[in-house]
Structure 1
Amino acid sequence: GDIEEDLKEILYEVAKENDVEIKALEIMPDHVHMFISFDPRQHIHKLIQAFKGRSSRILREKYPSLKSRLPSLWTRSYFCCTVGHISEEVVMKYIENQKNV
């Protein structure tokens, strides 16, 4: 609903500010799948911190019900892998089909 749309907007804003291309994005009830492209000289942990930090702050201010959850909206964990032996198309289809699973 509204939270999902706001989250998408925030993630695309952060991506633009950090020169990151979001190739695919799917928001699930308890996690987010993102396929991104960025300069490998950038530090992935700083990008993740930017995505999570901004979205948590803005969403918890706008939607007080999110404050009743854990001390923070996101955990510190994330999963990251590079595309190499499979095509970008396969990754994008996987992410796009997450809500159908």
Structure 2
Amino acid sequence: MFISNAYAQSLGGGGAESSLMTFLPLLLMFAVLYFIMIRPQMKRQKEVRNMLAAMTKGDEVITNGGVVGKVSKVGEAYVGVEIADGVEITVQKTAVTTILPKGTIKSL
């Protein structure tokens, strides 16, 4: 009487096309996410890996903690950094954030 009957609507002939259109925004979001966030991060990681592999004795570096010094020993996982005359500390290679140009540190 007061309530009308509800009938299900059938799918019109474009089943494959409509399923593609429902996933298209999701695929576009993943593509944008890859090019905006994931790809630049992978590029930065590759640059850091190459920088640490190319580090040699005599390079001037800055560590995560802000310590500035000259590399005196290079090992597989650790680096000896001379921070003053005769004062050397050992840090992990991954703690080195920047390799400075030669001649930046004048006091050592």
Return the TM-score normalized by structure 1.
0.26
Q: Please tell me whether Structure 1 or Structure 2 has the larger radius of gyration of its CA atoms.
A: 2
> Larger strand proportion, structure 1 or 2?
2
> Larger helix proportion, structure 1 or 2?
1
Return the TM-score normalized by structure 2.
0.24
- The higher relative CO (CA closer than 8 Å, separation ≥ 6) is in 1
